[in-house]
Chains A and B, each alone.
Chain A
């Protein structure tokens, strides 16, 4: 079974802090994704990566950056956290674009 693990289930940070969200997958998938889920808006893509050190902007990349130094790990970085980044963050991976994405259980991030 595919396992996508997000390092924290809940996280509370302060405005202006630099925040790191980590995601690891154990199935050697090429593609990895970061989404945020907000009520009434569904899942919105922040960034994705189709290979090590490669990244592509999604629909809402502003205020975020990502890092993929190893194939199994994809990090989401909030450079200077703001209250409007309070959300549920979901990481996903897939082997290739014809296959479904597999999701982690999410990190609920609160920015105070």
Chain B
């Protein structure tokens, strides 16, 4: 039972354009959402998060949008840069819990 789903295994975007990564969830008790970025042979690094009381959070080139009614989360990267090429994981946490539930990941490739 996959509670957090990233339905696109891969995404290819031209350098300078916007990258949009999507994530859907099924558990309405999730109250905190995160995006992680992972390069090969390294551990995931935290990118940006959003609480369920907000619908948008921005940090530089990265913006996360939360649509609670649709149970949908998206990460926008603009402008996209070659160094953004990585696997991106979304994750969610249940209210009061400590563990995270991760999606399957989306491999983003930025083409020059």
Contacts and interface: CB of A to CB of B under 8 A. Distances in A.
Contacts of A43: 44, 89, 91, 102
A12 interface: no
A97 B98 contact: yes
Interface in B31-56: 32, 34, 36, 41-46, 49
Contact of A90 (B32, B44, B97): B44
A45 B89 contact: no
Q: Which size bracket describes the interface of B in this complex?
A: 20 to 34
Contacts of A41: 104
Nearest to B6: A42
B44 A103 contact: yes
Contacts of A44: 102
Interface in A89-112: 90, 92, 94, 97-98, 100-106
B42 A100 contact: no
A14 B41 CA distance: 23
Contacts of B102: 35, 42-44
A50 B96 CA distance: 13
A101 to B, nearest CB: 7
Contacts of B96: 97
A83 to B, nearest CB: 22
Interface of B: 4, 6, 9, 32, 34, 36, 41-46, 49, 89, 91, 93, 96-105
Interface of A: 4, 9, 31, 33, 35, 40-45, 48, 50, 56, 58, 90, 92, 94, 97-98, 100-106
